[in-house]
Each structure stands twice: as structure tokens, then as C-alpha cells.
């Protein structure tokens, strides 16, 4: 029987046996340990875990910000090296956790958005800046403002616009709402969902918040102590069907502060 094209379709993102270590000699920190996962085109894949679990370190290796790793990272079947060229950054962009720290304080929004276009030799930069500001929910009046003149939510919208202006296929999202007020978080998540649908994007989303993962993702991997301890669909998560004790504890804790759940949280090496 012939194999269908769907059955042999390659994942858009493939991470295999990713290892990341920091330090040297007696002070080595093994931050990521043999992490493997695949992400299909158009999917939103979540990495969830406590602070220090290694999830953001995975994203930094994928984005090229951390070159000290071993294993294999592939985008569209092409294996990535530790040094990335311009074609990679047109295809893959990252949105950081802190909208206060990720924008240059002395650059206007116009310069923040124009510079990537100039670096990549793109045409009609003014039109691109105007269009991406509208897409991110900001009008032309924001174009010549400085970051200190913007709210946290507005800054994160600028950061999202900067990631989108090169028209990437993939966005790596590192806790994109955790530094924002609760009232603004849902707005940013809904903006990301809309942009994903309109532009056919693929997301890898890092969060410590299972409610964010459940709202945004199709599948997720749970990380603890640098390892993936479980991979499941959001439907399984919502049905409270995780198989690992660590995931069940995360789920219980996410339903609201519970003193016994907090006391039971422990590391599973």
C-alpha cells in the first residue's frame, strides 16, 4: 500500500536530544537534558514548567541567542548550526518576556521597526511600518513615540510588530504576557491568536502558566529539571488526564493557590 503524502510530511520544527550546559569544571549547570519534540506547520506548541525548568533555555537555543548547545535543531528539514544567517531571522523571530527591556529606550518606535527592514534590504519600509503597527493594534500616532511613552501592553505590541515586520513563518514566544498586568494579558494573547490565523504562523510558546498554555496551544511538553517529563494535547490537559505526578501537581496548583498542593511540589529528576 503506498504511503500517503500526509503520513510522510516533515514537521516544520524538529528538536532532537538538545543539551545545554553552562559554566565549567566543578560549576557546570546542566540546564537542558536530552530534550526532543516536533512542531507541525501552523501549530502552537507549548513548553511549560516552573522557573528554572529549562524551557526558556530551549527557546534561546532555537533562536540562536545561545550558541552553546549540542543535539539537532531543524527548521523545514534543514539542520541549523550554532551561527545563523539572515535567512534564518527572516523565517524565525522571537518575542521576549520583558517589554521594558527588549526595546531600545532611545529609539523611536519607527526606528525600532525600520532597522530590521534596512538590515534585510526590504523595500517600502514606511508602508511596512505603518501596516505592522495597525496589525499589532497600534495606530500611526505611535510611530514616533519612545518606549518610555508607552504602557507595558503597548510596548509588547511594538515588540510583536518588530517580530512580524520581516514576515516570518515562526514566532518563538518567551512568556509574552507574564510581565504585564492581568487586565492586559488577555488582550495580548488574543492579538497573538488573531495574527497567527491571519498570517498562518507557527508558534512555540514558553509559559509557567497552564491556563495560558490551555488557551493558546494545541499540544504541550512539560519540563522539569531540564527534561521533558510528559507530552500531551491540550484536550488531555483540560480533561485532567496527565500521566505524570509532576504534571498533575502543576495542574492542581494552576487551579488556584492550594497550601497542600504547594507543599507537595517537588523535583522529579
Is residue 21 domain-resident? no
Find the Cα–Cα–Cα–Cα dihedral 152, 114, 165, 117, rounded to 10°. -150
Q: Helices in 120-255 by DSSP H: which ranges?
A: 125-135, 152-164, 182-199, 210-216, 234-238, 245-254
Buried b or exposed e, range 206-228, using 16+ CB within 10 angstroms = bbbbbebbbbbbebbbbbbbbbb
Residue 158 domain-assigned?
A: yes
If one counts the domains in the chain, the total is: 1
pLDDT tens-digit series, residues 229-244: 999 999 988 887 778 8
Note whether 18 and 67 are within 8 A (CB). no
The list of the chain residues with pLDDT below 50 reads 1-8, 257-263, 265-269
Residue 113 lies in a domain: yes
d(CA 132, CA 109): 11
The CATH number of residue 156's host domain is 3.40.50.300
Q: In whole angstroms, what is the distance from residue 210 CA to residue 247 CA?
A: 10
Q: How far is CA 219 from CA 58, 85, 111, 236, 269, in A?
A: 17, 29, 36, 9, 23
Q: 59 lies in which domain range?
A: 44-66+83-262
Any domain includes 1? no
**pTM of the model as a whole:** 0.89
Residue 4 lies in a domain: no
- pLDDT value at position 252? 77
Q: What is the pLDDT of residue 73?
A: 97
Q: What is the pLDDT of residues 94-146, one digit of tens each?
A: 999 988 888 999 999 999 999 999 999 999 999 999 999 999 999 889 999 99
Amino acid at each position: 500500500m503506498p504511503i500517503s503524502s500526509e503520513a510522510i510530511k516533515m514537521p516544520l520544527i524538529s528538536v532532537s536530544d538538545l543539551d545545554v550546559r553552562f559554566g565549567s569544571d566543578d560549576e557546570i549547570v546542566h540546564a537542558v537534558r536530552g530534550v526532543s519534540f516536533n512542531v507541525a506547520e501552523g501549530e502552537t506548541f507549548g513548553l511549560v514548567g516552573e522557573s528554572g525548568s529549562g524551557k526558556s533555555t530551549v527557546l534561546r537555543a532555537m533562536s540562536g541567542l545561545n550558541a552553546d548547545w549540542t543535539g539537532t535543531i531543524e527548521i523545514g528539514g534543514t539542520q541549523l548550526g550554532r551561527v545563523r544567517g539572515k535567512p534564518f531571522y527572516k523565517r524565525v523571530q522571537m518575542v521576549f518576556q520583558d517589554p521594558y527591556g527588549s526595546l531600545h529606550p532611545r529609539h523611536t518606535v519607527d526606528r525600532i521597526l525600520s532597522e530590521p527592514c534596512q538590515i534585510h534590504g526590504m523595500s517600502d519600509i514606511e508602508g511596512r511600518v505603518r501596516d505592522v503597527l495597525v496589525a499589532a493594534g497600534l495606530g500611526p500616532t505611535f510611530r514616533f513615540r519612545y518606549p518610555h511613552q508607552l504602557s507595558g501592553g503597548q510596548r509588547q505590541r511594538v515588540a510583536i510588530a518588530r517580530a512580524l515586520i520581516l514576515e516570518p513563518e515562526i514566532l518563538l514566544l518567551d512568556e509574552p504576557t507574564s510581565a504585564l498586568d492581568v487586565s492586559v494579558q488577555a488582550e495580548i494573547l488574543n492579538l497573538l491568536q488573531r495574527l497567527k490565523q491571519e498570517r498562518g504562523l507557527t508558534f512555540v510558546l514558553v509559559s509557567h502558566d497552564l491556563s495560558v498554555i490551555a488557551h493558546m496551544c494545541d499540544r504541550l511538553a512539560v519540563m522539569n529539571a531540564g527534561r521533558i517529563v510528559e507530552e500531551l494535547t491540550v484536550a488531555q490537559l483540560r480533561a485532567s488526564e496527565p500521566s505524570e505526578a509532576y504534571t498533575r501537581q502543576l495542574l492542581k496548583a494552576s487551579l488556584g493557590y492550594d497550601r497542600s498542593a504547594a507543599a507537595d511540589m517537588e523535583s522529579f529528576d
